[in-house]
Chains A and B, each alone.
Chain A
């Protein structure tokens, strides 16, 4: 299901059960404070993966697409999750209006179509989703910065 090199962990899954296992792994790898920037074509499953991860952090209730509202915030007992979507953003100066945080110790920022703000965060994960043949999904999780790289080093594929 997973393999890794120095900075990247790669996950593959065929179905919802396997995606749940990947979500579990992501929920353990992404610890607050952290930033995860998602990229991948329309319909590849960015929101679906995030929907599977959030309950594992104890976020109650429904996780809906943030495309229309741009940012959704979720609070659980010890964690605050910002789920943003930059799908509608077309130029960089529009990003300022979103008030995206520099994550504090209990905060996690998950951003779909997040390539826009790669320069903002030295410590982050780039989560690249793709669909291969027969509906096989691939997640390439690239660590950037000290803490994420440390997590990859400790990870047992």
Chain B
């Protein structure tokens, strides 16, 4: 028997993605259909649109994944699927598809937590070194975890209001930029040649808190944009700088409280170049190893689902017949 091939299925939000990963480590192939273009028109994720898109996309995406891997369905050893959290209609399509495929092929199916899976994008580079700190930053989440082993996560802090990616999305809307806001803000910010004095404030939640707060940035960005209507690029830079500073500050505080040697980033905002640089500087300063997911696996993908699924299968987790999607699913639950 060769390597263990796990098929990963991700449909919790706007992408229908499927991947084959060997031994939780090696990405064999992946394919995805994104409804991001449709969402761009709506300025966000719309559940009905998402569910319809997933239904249409899931079978062709599976076929494409297997074709790229040049393996038949029968070569799969197990299936991992995102069971939550996420939009009900979207999750149900992935979960139902996975269960049916599992029954048809007579192979085990395991459900995984979407956010925990994001951390496992890092496992596709090298096995995770525990204990570690993990920082998940995306459009819907900003969460800091103490990660002591496979399946052993403790939430140390999270956003009290808006996620970091939401701060980018809403800031972009204020500046008249399209969705998703993160890459747009970054692109506009890079056009600033001489750094100006424009600065947005950071939330202060107390000197020991490991929580985040980004909702104040909306008001501050809006006010700055109306005071300085011709300085949009500088405002984009100020917004990016405020988000990055907040993330670095709280992560550094967590490293002081939990002095581990490894720091893992995950989630779509991890694609931001300024954040990557600032975290690299932090890691050098604190002498910790910084782990960044592969650039193409920062946003939602199925490789991370398959990678986490591999470890959960090893621990004996299986999805039962009556298990369904879990729209609200706490990390570490």
Contact = CB atoms under 8 A, between A and B. Distances in A.
27 contacts: A41-B222, A42-B173, A42-B174, A43-B170, A43-B219, A43-B220, A45-B219, A48-B161, A62-B158, A64-B158, A64-B162, A65-B166, A67-B162, A68-B141, A68-B165, A69-B87, A69-B140, A70-B45, A87-B43, A87-B44, A88-B42, A89-B42, A94-B42, A94-B46, A94-B49, A97-B47, A98-B47
A70 B47 contact: yes
B173 A97 contact: no
Interface of A: 41-45, 47-48, 51, 62, 64-65, 67-70, 73, 87-91, 93-94, 96-98, 131
Interface string B161-177: 11101100010011000
B182 to A, nearest CB: 13
Interface string B42-62: 111111110100000000000
Count chain A CB atoms within 10 A of each CB in B44, B47, B215 and give the residue with the most.
B47
Given A43-B222, A48-B215, A90 B166 contact: no
Interface of A is mostly: loop
A65 B43 contact: no
Contacts of A47: 161-162, 215
A64 B155 CA distance: 15
Nearest to B173: A42
B328 interface: yes
B48 A93 contact: yes
Interface in B133-167: 139-141, 158-163, 165-166
Interface residues of B, number: 34
Interface of B: 41-49, 51, 85, 87, 89, 139-141, 158-163, 165-166, 170, 173-174, 215, 218-222, 328
Contacts of A68: 44-45, 139-141, 163, 165-166
Count chain A CB atoms within 10 A of each CB in B48, B139, B221 and give the residue with the most.
B48
Return the 9 tightest CB-CB contacts between A and B, nearest first. Answer: A88-B44, A43-B218, A68-B140, A97-B48, A43-B219, A90-B42, A97-B47, A65-B162, A94-B46
Nearest to A89: B46
A72 B158 CA distance: 16
Count chain A CB atoms within 10 A of each CB in B46, B141, B165 and give the residue with the most.
B46
Nearest to A42: B218
Nearest to B219: A43
Given A64-B160, A67-B44, 15 more contacts: A42-B222, A43-B215, A43-B218, A43-B221, A43-B222, A65-B163, A67-B166, A68-B166, A70-B47, A88-B45, A88-B46, A89-B42, A90-B41, A94-B46, A94-B49
Nearest to A85: B44
Nearest to A88: B44
A53 to B, nearest CB: 14
A99 B42 CA distance: 19
Contacts of B158: 62, 64
A47 B220 CA distance: 16
B160 A62 contact: yes
Contact of B51 (A42, A64, A73, A97): A97
Contact of B161 (A44, A64, A73): A64
A69 B170 CA distance: 15
A51 B162 CA distance: 12
Given A41-B222, A65-B163, A68-B166, A96 B43 contact: no
A41 B170 CA distance: 11
A137 to B, nearest CB: 10
B42 A97 contact: no
B221 to A, nearest CB: 7
A51 B161 contact: yes
Count chain A CB atoms within 10 A of each CB in B158, B163, B165, B215 and give the residue with the most.
B215
A70 B215 contact: no
Contact of B48 (A42, A44, A94): A94
